[in-house]
Structure 1
Amino acid sequence: MNIKFLSSILFLFGTTMLFGQNSCSKYYPMEEGSTFQYTMYDKKDKVEGVTDYVVSKVENSGGNTTATMELKFTDDKGKNVLESDYNITCTGDGVKIDYRSLFPSQMKKQYEDMGMEMDITGTDIQIPNSLSAGQTLDDANVNVSMDMGAMKMNINVETYDRKVEKEESVTTPAGTFNCYLITEKSKSKVMMSNMETSNKVWISEGVGMIKQETYGKNGKLMSRMELTKFSK
Protein backbone atom coordinates (compact mmCIF):
# COMPACT_ATOMS: atom_id res chain seq x y z
CA MET A 1 0.00 0.00 0.00
CA ASN A 2 1.51 3.34 -1.06
CA ILE A 3 0.69 5.50 1.98
CA LYS A 4 2.26 8.65 0.54
CA PHE A 5 0.10 8.32 -2.58
CA LEU A 6 -3.02 7.66 -0.48
CA SER A 7 -2.55 10.70 1.77
CA SER A 8 -1.81 12.82 -1.31
CA ILE A 9 -5.06 11.70 -2.93
CA LEU A 10 -7.03 12.55 0.22
CA PHE A 11 -5.44 15.98 0.31
CA LEU A 12 -6.08 16.47 -3.42
CA PHE A 13 -9.79 15.62 -3.09
CA GLY A 14 -10.30 17.71 -0.04
CA THR A 15 -8.72 21.07 -0.70
CA THR A 16 -8.26 21.97 -4.29
CA MET A 17 -10.96 20.73 -6.61
CA LEU A 18 -12.92 23.89 -7.36
CA PHE A 19 -14.78 23.83 -10.65
CA GLY A 20 -17.37 25.32 -12.91
CA GLN A 21 -20.35 27.59 -12.32
CA ASN A 22 -24.11 27.47 -12.28
CA SER A 23 -26.86 29.37 -10.47
CA CYS A 24 -26.06 27.48 -7.26
CA SER A 25 -22.24 27.51 -7.16
CA LYS A 26 -19.58 29.71 -8.72
CA TYR A 27 -16.69 27.28 -8.31
CA TYR A 28 -18.09 23.75 -8.61
CA PRO A 29 -19.61 22.05 -11.66
CA MET A 30 -23.28 21.25 -11.40
CA GLU A 31 -23.82 20.38 -15.07
CA GLU A 32 -23.70 16.75 -16.17
CA GLY A 33 -21.00 16.05 -18.75
CA SER A 34 -18.62 18.84 -17.72
CA THR A 35 -15.01 17.62 -17.96
CA PHE A 36 -11.71 18.88 -16.54
CA GLN A 37 -8.13 17.67 -16.96
CA TYR A 38 -5.21 18.51 -14.65
CA THR A 39 -1.56 17.67 -15.28
CA MET A 40 0.77 17.16 -12.29
CA TYR A 41 4.50 18.06 -12.39
CA ASP A 42 7.34 17.38 -9.96
CA LYS A 43 9.85 19.95 -8.70
CA LYS A 44 11.96 19.46 -11.85
CA ASP A 45 8.93 20.15 -14.06
CA LYS A 46 8.61 16.51 -15.11
CA VAL A 47 5.08 15.17 -15.69
CA GLU A 48 4.01 12.87 -12.84
CA GLY A 49 0.50 12.12 -14.05
CA VAL A 50 -2.84 13.35 -15.35
CA THR A 51 -6.20 13.45 -13.57
CA ASP A 52 -9.41 13.57 -15.63
CA TYR A 53 -12.71 14.58 -14.00
CA VAL A 54 -16.28 14.34 -15.27
CA VAL A 55 -19.56 15.39 -13.64
CA SER A 56 -21.45 12.11 -13.95
CA LYS A 57 -24.70 12.91 -12.12
CA VAL A 58 -26.58 15.93 -10.75
CA GLU A 59 -29.58 15.63 -8.40
CA ASN A 60 -31.83 18.23 -6.74
CA SER A 61 -33.51 17.59 -3.40
CA GLY A 62 -34.81 19.80 -0.60
CA GLY A 63 -33.43 22.95 -2.18
CA ASN A 64 -29.92 21.50 -2.45
CA THR A 65 -28.01 20.34 -5.52
CA THR A 66 -25.66 17.35 -5.32
CA ALA A 67 -23.14 16.51 -8.03
CA THR A 68 -21.12 13.29 -8.34
CA MET A 69 -17.54 13.78 -9.55
CA GLU A 70 -15.83 10.82 -11.21
CA LEU A 71 -12.06 10.88 -11.63
CA LYS A 72 -9.34 8.84 -13.30
CA PHE A 73 -5.66 9.25 -12.44
CA THR A 74 -3.11 8.16 -15.08
CA ASP A 75 0.61 8.06 -14.27
CA ASP A 76 3.48 9.39 -16.39
CA LYS A 77 3.66 6.09 -18.29
CA GLY A 78 -0.02 6.20 -19.24
CA LYS A 79 -1.08 3.53 -16.73
CA ASN A 80 -4.51 3.90 -15.13
CA VAL A 81 -3.63 4.03 -11.42
CA LEU A 82 -6.90 5.04 -9.77
CA GLU A 83 -10.57 5.54 -10.52
CA SER A 84 -12.94 6.97 -7.90
CA ASP A 85 -15.77 9.42 -7.22
CA TYR A 86 -16.93 11.86 -4.54
CA ASN A 87 -19.95 14.06 -3.83
CA ILE A 88 -20.38 17.84 -3.75
CA THR A 89 -23.48 19.53 -2.30
CA CYS A 90 -24.49 23.11 -3.09
CA THR A 91 -26.82 24.96 -0.72
CA GLY A 92 -27.02 28.28 -2.57
CA ASP A 93 -24.52 30.16 -0.35
CA GLY A 94 -21.67 27.87 -1.33
CA VAL A 95 -20.69 24.21 -1.48
CA LYS A 96 -19.45 21.45 0.82
CA ILE A 97 -17.72 18.14 0.15
CA ASP A 98 -18.82 15.05 2.08
CA TYR A 99 -15.68 13.93 3.92
CA ARG A 100 -16.90 10.30 3.94
CA SER A 101 -16.70 10.24 0.15
CA LEU A 102 -13.13 11.57 0.03
CA PHE A 103 -11.50 8.17 0.55
CA PRO A 104 -11.10 6.59 -2.92
CA SER A 105 -13.95 4.09 -3.34
CA GLN A 106 -11.76 1.68 -5.32
CA MET A 107 -9.24 1.49 -2.46
CA LYS A 108 -11.99 1.26 0.15
CA LYS A 109 -13.53 -1.79 -1.52
CA GLN A 110 -10.11 -3.41 -1.88
CA TYR A 111 -9.32 -3.01 1.82
CA GLU A 112 -12.78 -4.14 2.94
CA ASP A 113 -12.43 -7.27 0.78
CA MET A 114 -9.22 -7.96 2.73
CA GLY A 115 -11.21 -7.88 5.98
CA MET A 116 -10.08 -4.43 7.05
CA GLU A 117 -12.48 -2.33 9.14
CA MET A 118 -12.53 1.35 8.28
CA ASP A 119 -13.83 4.44 10.06
CA ILE A 120 -13.81 7.79 8.22
CA THR A 121 -14.47 11.03 10.10
CA GLY A 122 -13.84 14.70 9.51
CA THR A 123 -15.28 18.10 8.69
CA ASP A 124 -17.21 18.78 5.51
CA ILE A 125 -15.10 21.13 3.42
CA GLN A 126 -16.89 24.37 2.60
CA ILE A 127 -16.22 26.94 -0.13
CA PRO A 128 -18.35 30.13 -0.16
CA ASN A 129 -19.65 31.58 -3.41
CA SER A 130 -18.26 35.02 -2.55
CA LEU A 131 -14.47 35.44 -2.36
CA SER A 132 -12.49 38.63 -1.75
CA ALA A 133 -8.90 39.61 -0.98
CA GLY A 134 -8.14 39.37 2.74
CA GLN A 135 -10.87 36.81 3.42
CA THR A 136 -10.20 33.87 5.79
CA LEU A 137 -11.65 30.44 4.90
CA ASP A 138 -12.65 27.63 7.27
CA ASP A 139 -10.20 24.87 8.20
CA ALA A 140 -10.88 21.31 7.03
CA ASN A 141 -9.75 17.78 7.92
CA VAL A 142 -10.32 14.11 7.17
CA ASN A 143 -9.23 11.13 9.30
CA VAL A 144 -9.17 7.49 8.19
CA SER A 145 -8.74 4.70 10.78
CA MET A 146 -8.00 1.22 9.44
CA ASP A 147 -8.01 -1.97 11.53
CA MET A 148 -7.13 -5.45 10.25
CA GLY A 149 -6.44 -7.27 13.49
CA ALA A 150 -2.68 -7.20 13.91
CA MET A 151 -2.33 -4.08 11.74
CA LYS A 152 -3.85 -0.74 12.68
CA MET A 153 -3.27 2.52 10.87
CA ASN A 154 -4.47 6.14 11.05
CA ILE A 155 -4.25 8.70 8.26
CA ASN A 156 -5.07 12.32 9.06
CA VAL A 157 -4.95 15.30 6.70
CA GLU A 158 -5.59 18.79 8.05
CA THR A 159 -5.82 21.98 5.99
CA TYR A 160 -5.62 25.25 7.89
CA ASP A 161 -4.61 28.92 7.76
CA ARG A 162 -6.56 29.32 4.51
CA LYS A 163 -6.60 32.87 3.15
CA VAL A 164 -7.65 34.68 -0.01
CA GLU A 165 -4.57 36.75 -0.84
CA LYS A 166 -5.30 38.71 -4.02
CA GLU A 167 -6.55 38.71 -7.62
CA GLU A 168 -4.15 38.09 -10.51
CA SER A 169 -3.98 36.69 -14.04
CA VAL A 170 -2.71 33.12 -14.61
CA THR A 171 -1.86 31.38 -17.90
CA THR A 172 -1.87 27.59 -18.45
CA PRO A 173 -2.18 25.41 -21.58
CA ALA A 174 -5.97 25.79 -21.18
CA GLY A 175 -5.81 29.61 -21.53
CA THR A 176 -5.43 32.82 -19.52
CA PHE A 177 -7.72 33.39 -16.54
CA ASN A 178 -8.45 36.06 -13.94
CA CYS A 179 -8.00 34.31 -10.59
CA TYR A 180 -8.15 34.58 -6.83
CA LEU A 181 -4.98 33.33 -5.14
CA ILE A 182 -5.68 31.24 -2.02
CA THR A 183 -2.85 30.24 0.34
CA GLU A 184 -3.14 27.41 2.86
CA LYS A 185 -1.11 25.03 5.00
CA SER A 186 -1.47 21.27 5.35
CA LYS A 187 -0.40 18.57 7.82
CA SER A 188 -0.48 14.88 6.89
CA LYS A 189 0.01 12.28 9.61
CA VAL A 190 0.43 8.58 8.81
CA MET A 191 1.26 6.61 11.95
CA MET A 192 4.72 7.94 13.00
CA SER A 193 5.32 9.84 9.77
CA ASN A 194 4.40 13.54 9.47
CA MET A 195 4.53 15.88 6.50
CA GLU A 196 3.91 19.63 6.46
CA THR A 197 3.35 21.63 3.30
CA SER A 198 2.12 25.03 2.20
CA ASN A 199 0.07 25.56 -0.92
CA LYS A 200 -0.92 28.22 -3.39
CA VAL A 201 -4.19 27.67 -5.26
CA TRP A 202 -5.49 29.87 -8.08
CA ILE A 203 -9.22 29.65 -8.85
CA SER A 204 -11.30 31.43 -11.48
CA GLU A 205 -15.03 32.09 -11.45
CA GLY A 206 -16.84 30.01 -14.04
CA VAL A 207 -13.92 27.59 -14.48
CA GLY A 208 -12.60 26.66 -11.03
CA MET A 209 -9.09 25.66 -10.02
CA ILE A 210 -6.56 26.80 -12.60
CA LYS A 211 -3.27 26.06 -10.88
CA GLN A 212 -1.80 24.74 -7.62
CA GLU A 213 1.74 24.81 -6.22
CA THR A 214 2.89 22.79 -3.19
CA TYR A 215 5.93 23.79 -1.12
CA GLY A 216 7.84 21.84 1.52
CA LYS A 217 8.56 22.94 5.05
CA ASN A 218 11.80 24.49 3.76
CA GLY A 219 9.85 26.70 1.36
CA LYS A 220 11.06 24.92 -1.78
CA LEU A 221 8.66 23.92 -4.57
CA MET A 222 7.71 20.22 -4.37
CA SER A 223 5.12 19.92 -7.13
CA ARG A 224 2.57 21.83 -9.16
CA MET A 225 -0.67 21.05 -10.95
CA GLU A 226 -2.47 23.03 -13.63
CA LEU A 227 -5.57 22.92 -15.79
CA THR A 228 -4.70 21.62 -19.26
CA LYS A 229 -8.19 20.95 -20.70
CA PHE A 230 -11.82 21.69 -19.84
CA SER A 231 -15.23 21.63 -21.48
CA LYS A 232 -18.81 22.33 -20.45
Structure 2
Amino acid sequence: MKNPLLSTLLFFLFIGFAFGQDSCSKFYPLKEGSTFQYTNYDKKGKSDGTVNYTVSDVRSEGSASVATFDMKLTDKKGKEIFETNYSFSCEDGLVKIDYQSLFPSQMMQQYSEMGLEMDISGTDIELPNNLSEGQELNDANVTVSMSMSGINMNVSVDQTNRKVEKKESVTTSAGTFNCYLITEDNTTKTMGATIEMKSKLWLAEGVGMIKQESYKSNGNLISRSELSAYNE
Protein backbone atom coordinates (compact mmCIF):
# COMPACT_ATOMS: atom_id res chain seq x y z
CA MET A 1 0.00 0.00 0.00
CA LYS A 2 1.85 3.07 -1.28
CA ASN A 3 -0.33 5.80 0.23
CA PRO A 4 1.29 6.50 3.65
CA LEU A 5 -1.76 8.32 5.03
CA LEU A 6 -4.10 5.50 4.01
CA SER A 7 -1.77 2.91 5.53
CA THR A 8 -1.68 4.82 8.81
CA LEU A 9 -5.46 5.28 8.86
CA LEU A 10 -6.12 1.57 8.42
CA PHE A 11 -3.54 0.62 11.03
CA PHE A 12 -5.03 2.88 13.68
CA LEU A 13 -8.63 2.01 12.85
CA PHE A 14 -7.94 -1.64 13.58
CA ILE A 15 -6.00 -0.74 16.70
CA GLY A 16 -8.93 1.33 17.81
CA PHE A 17 -11.31 -1.54 17.22
CA ALA A 18 -9.15 -3.81 19.32
CA PHE A 19 -9.55 -1.56 22.34
CA GLY A 20 -13.06 -0.21 21.86
CA GLN A 21 -15.22 -2.31 24.12
CA ASP A 22 -18.82 -2.05 25.32
CA SER A 23 -17.66 -2.05 28.94
CA CYS A 24 -14.13 -1.11 29.88
CA SER A 25 -14.29 -2.58 33.38
CA LYS A 26 -14.38 -6.33 32.77
CA PHE A 27 -12.00 -6.89 29.88
CA TYR A 28 -9.88 -3.76 30.24
CA PRO A 29 -9.58 -2.66 33.89
CA LEU A 30 -8.40 0.92 33.87
CA LYS A 31 -5.47 1.44 36.18
CA GLU A 32 -2.96 4.23 35.81
CA GLY A 33 0.53 2.93 35.11
CA SER A 34 -0.59 -0.36 33.56
CA THR A 35 1.50 -1.32 30.54
CA PHE A 36 0.87 -3.69 27.64
CA GLN A 37 3.24 -4.76 24.89
CA TYR A 38 2.17 -6.49 21.69
CA THR A 39 4.54 -8.07 19.20
CA ASN A 40 3.46 -8.09 15.55
CA TYR A 41 4.37 -10.98 13.23
CA ASP A 42 4.16 -11.31 9.46
CA LYS A 43 2.59 -14.24 7.62
CA LYS A 44 5.83 -16.24 7.93
CA GLY A 45 5.91 -15.81 11.71
CA LYS A 46 8.79 -13.33 11.72
CA SER A 47 8.70 -10.41 14.15
CA ASP A 48 7.53 -7.21 12.47
CA GLY A 49 7.80 -4.77 15.38
CA THR A 50 6.04 -3.99 18.65
CA VAL A 51 3.31 -1.72 19.99
CA ASN A 52 3.60 -0.52 23.60
CA TYR A 53 0.66 0.93 25.53
CA THR A 54 0.65 2.71 28.88
CA VAL A 55 -2.49 3.80 30.73
CA SER A 56 -1.24 7.29 31.56
CA ASP A 57 -4.40 8.83 33.01
CA VAL A 58 -7.76 7.71 34.39
CA ARG A 59 -10.24 10.34 35.48
CA SER A 60 -13.93 10.96 36.05
CA GLU A 61 -15.85 13.42 33.92
CA GLY A 62 -19.37 13.55 35.30
CA SER A 63 -20.73 10.01 35.26
CA ALA A 64 -18.14 8.84 32.72
CA SER A 65 -14.72 7.29 33.24
CA VAL A 66 -12.10 8.54 30.79
CA ALA A 67 -8.77 6.82 30.15
CA THR A 68 -5.79 8.01 28.14
CA PHE A 69 -3.49 5.49 26.47
CA ASP A 70 0.05 6.41 25.42
CA MET A 71 1.13 4.33 22.45
CA LYS A 72 4.56 3.79 20.90
CA LEU A 73 5.17 1.84 17.70
CA THR A 74 8.61 0.41 16.87
CA ASP A 75 9.79 -1.52 13.83
CA LYS A 76 11.40 -4.97 13.78
CA LYS A 77 14.83 -3.43 14.40
CA GLY A 78 13.62 -1.64 17.53
CA LYS A 79 13.60 1.79 15.90
CA GLU A 80 10.76 4.02 17.06
CA ILE A 81 8.40 4.85 14.20
CA PHE A 82 6.17 7.23 16.11
CA GLU A 83 4.30 7.69 19.36
CA THR A 84 0.93 9.19 20.16
CA ASN A 85 -1.88 8.97 22.70
CA TYR A 86 -5.62 8.51 22.49
CA SER A 87 -8.54 8.35 24.87
CA PHE A 88 -11.89 6.70 25.31
CA SER A 89 -14.73 7.27 27.70
CA CYS A 90 -16.90 4.68 29.40
CA GLU A 91 -20.42 5.60 30.47
CA ASP A 92 -23.60 3.57 30.95
CA GLY A 93 -21.96 0.48 29.46
CA LEU A 94 -20.82 2.26 26.30
CA VAL A 95 -17.32 3.21 25.23
CA LYS A 96 -16.65 6.03 22.80
CA ILE A 97 -13.25 6.39 21.17
CA ASP A 98 -11.83 9.67 19.93
CA TYR A 99 -10.65 8.12 16.66
CA GLN A 100 -9.05 11.32 15.45
CA SER A 101 -6.83 11.37 18.55
CA LEU A 102 -5.36 8.05 17.38
CA PHE A 103 -3.30 9.72 14.68
CA PRO A 104 0.08 11.24 15.59
CA SER A 105 -0.28 15.00 16.04
CA GLN A 106 2.84 15.77 13.99
CA MET A 107 1.46 13.82 11.06
CA MET A 108 -1.92 15.50 11.35
CA GLN A 109 -0.31 18.93 11.54
CA GLN A 110 1.69 18.18 8.42
CA TYR A 111 -1.38 17.15 6.45
CA SER A 112 -3.40 20.06 7.87
CA GLU A 113 -0.81 22.48 6.56
CA MET A 114 -1.26 20.83 3.18
CA GLY A 115 -4.99 21.60 3.35
CA LEU A 116 -6.30 18.20 4.40
CA GLU A 117 -9.77 18.12 5.94
CA MET A 118 -10.89 14.96 7.75
CA ASP A 119 -14.20 13.76 9.15
CA ILE A 120 -14.61 10.51 11.09
CA SER A 121 -17.97 8.86 11.76
CA GLY A 122 -19.40 5.42 12.36
CA THR A 123 -20.96 2.96 14.78
CA ASP A 124 -19.12 2.09 17.99
CA ILE A 125 -18.13 -1.52 18.40
CA GLU A 126 -19.92 -3.28 21.25
CA LEU A 127 -18.90 -6.16 23.45
CA PRO A 128 -21.22 -7.32 26.26
CA ASN A 129 -19.73 -8.14 29.65
CA ASN A 130 -21.30 -11.58 29.60
CA LEU A 131 -20.09 -13.62 26.62
CA SER A 132 -21.10 -17.17 25.72
CA GLU A 133 -20.25 -19.65 22.98
CA GLY A 134 -22.31 -19.13 19.84
CA GLN A 135 -23.29 -15.59 20.79
CA GLU A 136 -23.71 -13.18 17.87
CA LEU A 137 -22.46 -9.62 18.33
CA ASN A 138 -23.54 -6.39 16.70
CA ASP A 139 -21.85 -5.17 13.53
CA ALA A 140 -19.70 -2.04 13.61
CA ASN A 141 -18.23 0.37 11.11
CA VAL A 142 -16.15 3.50 10.79
CA THR A 143 -15.86 5.89 7.83
CA VAL A 144 -13.09 8.42 7.28
CA SER A 145 -13.81 11.17 4.74
CA MET A 146 -10.84 13.19 3.53
CA SER A 147 -10.63 16.19 1.23
CA MET A 148 -7.53 17.97 -0.04
CA SER A 149 -7.08 20.33 -2.98
CA GLY A 150 -10.48 19.39 -4.38
CA ILE A 151 -9.71 15.67 -4.20
CA ASN A 152 -12.03 13.60 -2.03
CA MET A 153 -11.29 10.14 -0.63
CA ASN A 154 -13.38 7.96 1.65
CA VAL A 155 -12.20 4.97 3.65
CA SER A 156 -14.79 2.73 5.27
CA VAL A 157 -14.19 -0.32 7.43
CA ASP A 158 -17.10 -2.65 8.22
CA GLN A 159 -16.99 -5.41 10.83
CA THR A 160 -19.71 -8.00 10.24
CA ASN A 161 -20.62 -11.55 11.23
CA ARG A 162 -19.11 -11.04 14.66
CA LYS A 163 -19.48 -14.16 16.75
CA VAL A 164 -18.17 -15.72 19.96
CA GLU A 165 -16.88 -19.06 18.71
CA LYS A 166 -15.68 -20.67 21.94
CA LYS A 167 -13.53 -20.43 25.07
CA GLU A 168 -10.02 -21.78 24.93
CA SER A 169 -6.62 -21.47 26.56
CA VAL A 170 -4.03 -19.35 24.73
CA THR A 171 -0.33 -19.21 25.55
CA THR A 172 1.98 -16.37 24.53
CA SER A 173 5.32 -15.17 25.89
CA ALA A 174 3.31 -13.18 28.46
CA GLY A 175 1.71 -16.29 29.93
CA THR A 176 -1.31 -18.58 29.56
CA PHE A 177 -4.82 -17.09 29.50
CA ASN A 178 -8.39 -18.36 29.35
CA CYS A 179 -9.86 -16.52 26.38
CA TYR A 180 -13.01 -15.94 24.39
CA LEU A 181 -12.39 -16.39 20.67
CA ILE A 182 -14.29 -13.86 18.58
CA THR A 183 -14.38 -14.12 14.78
CA GLU A 184 -15.55 -11.54 12.27
CA ASP A 185 -15.39 -10.39 8.66
CA ASN A 186 -13.70 -7.09 7.79
CA THR A 187 -14.47 -5.18 4.60
CA THR A 188 -12.43 -2.11 3.70
CA LYS A 189 -13.54 0.10 0.82
CA THR A 190 -11.36 2.88 -0.54
CA MET A 191 -10.39 4.46 -3.84
CA GLY A 192 -12.67 2.13 -5.77
CA ALA A 193 -11.13 -0.97 -4.22
CA THR A 194 -12.65 -3.46 -1.80
CA ILE A 195 -10.45 -5.47 0.53
CA GLU A 196 -12.08 -8.40 2.34
CA MET A 197 -10.43 -10.07 5.30
CA LYS A 198 -11.33 -12.30 8.21
CA SER A 199 -10.00 -11.91 11.72
CA LYS A 200 -9.79 -13.80 14.98
CA LEU A 201 -9.54 -12.04 18.32
CA TRP A 202 -8.76 -13.71 21.64
CA LEU A 203 -9.86 -11.76 24.73
CA ALA A 204 -9.18 -12.52 28.39
CA GLU A 205 -11.05 -10.97 31.29
CA GLY A 206 -8.98 -8.50 33.26
CA VAL A 207 -6.30 -8.21 30.57
CA GLY A 208 -7.96 -7.59 27.21
CA MET A 209 -6.61 -8.62 23.83
CA ILE A 210 -4.24 -11.59 24.04
CA LYS A 211 -3.91 -12.42 20.36
CA GLN A 212 -5.28 -11.26 17.03
CA GLU A 213 -4.91 -12.84 13.58
CA SER A 214 -5.87 -11.47 10.17
CA TYR A 215 -6.57 -13.62 7.12
CA LYS A 216 -7.27 -13.10 3.44
CA SER A 217 -10.73 -14.10 2.26
CA ASN A 218 -9.21 -17.39 1.00
CA GLY A 219 -8.06 -18.25 4.52
CA ASN A 220 -4.34 -17.49 4.11
CA LEU A 221 -2.77 -15.82 7.15
CA ILE A 222 -1.74 -12.17 6.70
CA SER A 223 -0.41 -11.27 10.12
CA ARG A 224 -0.83 -11.81 13.84
CA SER A 225 -0.28 -9.82 17.02
CA GLU A 226 0.33 -11.29 20.48
CA LEU A 227 0.57 -9.94 23.99
CA SER A 228 4.26 -10.27 24.82
CA ALA A 229 4.40 -8.46 28.18
CA TYR A 230 2.09 -6.62 30.59
CA ASN A 231 2.17 -5.11 34.03
CA GLU A 232 -0.92 -4.01 35.96
Verify the 8 A CA contact 1:29 1:55 in the aligned structure 2: no
Q: How far, CA to CA, are the matches of 2:41 and 2:31 in structure 1?
A: 29
Tell whether 2:143 aligns with 1:143. yes
- Structure 1 residues 71-93: Cα deviation after superposition (integer angstroms, max 9, x where no partner): 11111122222322222222253
Q: How far, CA to CA, are the matches of 1:55 and 1:130 in structure 2?
A: 24
Equivalent residue, structure 1, for 2:199 = 199
Equivalent residue, structure 2, for 1:2 = 4
Question: Offset of 1:214 from its aligned partner?
Answer: 0.6
Cα 1:185–1:139 shift into 2, 3 Å = same
Cα 1:6–1:211 shift into 2, 3 Å = same
Question: Offset of 1:107 from its aligned partner?
Answer: 3.1
Aligned residue pairs, count? 229
Equivalent residue, structure 2, for 1:179 = 179
The CA RMSD measured in Å over matched residues stands at: 2.1
The residue type paired with residue 169 of structure 1 is S
Q: How far, CA to CA, are the matches of 1:116 and 1:16 in structure 2?
A: 27
Percent pairwise identity:
53
Equivalent residue, structure 2, for 1:168 = 168
Question: Offset of 1:116 from its aligned partner?
Answer: 1.1
- Structure 1 residues 120-167: Cα deviation after superposition (integer angstroms, max 9, x where no partner): 111223332222212222222221111111432221111111111111
Question: Offset of 1:188 from its aligned partner?
Answer: 1.2
Q: Which is worse superposed, 215-224 or 150-159?
A: 150-159
TM-score by length of 2: 0.90
Cα 1:103–1:29 shift into 2, 3 Å = farther
Q: How far, CA to CA, are the matches of 1:159 and 1:187 in structure 2?
A: 7
Question: Offset of 1:95 from its aligned partner?
Answer: 3.4
Q: Which runs of 5+ in 2 are unaligned?
A: none
Give the match's secondary structure for 1:107. helix
Equivalent residue, structure 2, for 1:88 = 88
Question: Offset of 1:65 from its aligned partner?
Answer: 0.6
Q: How far, CA to CA, are the matches of 1:204 and 1:18 in structure 2?
A: 14
The residue type paired with residue 47 of structure 1 is S
Equivalent residue, structure 2, for 1:65 = 65
Give the match's secondary structure for 2:126. strand
Cα 1:101–1:135 shift into 2, 3 Å = farther
Q: Which runs of 5+ in 1 are unaligned?
A: none
Verify the 8 A CA contact 1:39 1:226 in the aligned structure 2: yes
Verify the 8 A CA contact 2:172 2:226 in the aligned structure 1: yes
Verify the 8 A CA contact 2:20 2:96 in the aligned structure 1: no
- Structure 1 residues 98-137: Cα deviation after superposition (integer angstroms, max 9, x where no partner): 4444445443222112221111111223332222212222
- Structure 1 residues 143-201: Cα deviation after superposition (integer angstroms, max 9, x where no partner): 11111114322211111111111110000000000000000111112212221110010
The correspondence of residues 92-107 of structure 1 with structure 2, limited to 5 A, is 93=93, 95-107=95-107
- Structure 1 residues 2-43: Cα deviation after superposition (integer angstroms, max 9, x where no partner): 255224313322322379x9xx61112411111100001011
Give the match's secondary structure for 1:26. coil
Verify the 8 A CA contact 2:188 2:194 in the aligned structure 1: yes
The residue type paired with residue 227 of structure 1 is L
Cα 1:87–1:70 shift into 2, 3 Å = same
Q: How far, CA to CA, are the matches of 2:96 and 2:135 in structure 1?
A: 18
TM-score by length of 1: 0.90
Q: Which is worse superposed, 164-173 or 114-123?
A: 114-123
Question: Offset of 1:209 from its aligned partner?
Answer: 0.5
Verify the 8 A CA contact 2:197 2:216 in the aligned structure 1: yes
The residue type paired with residue 134 of structure 1 is G
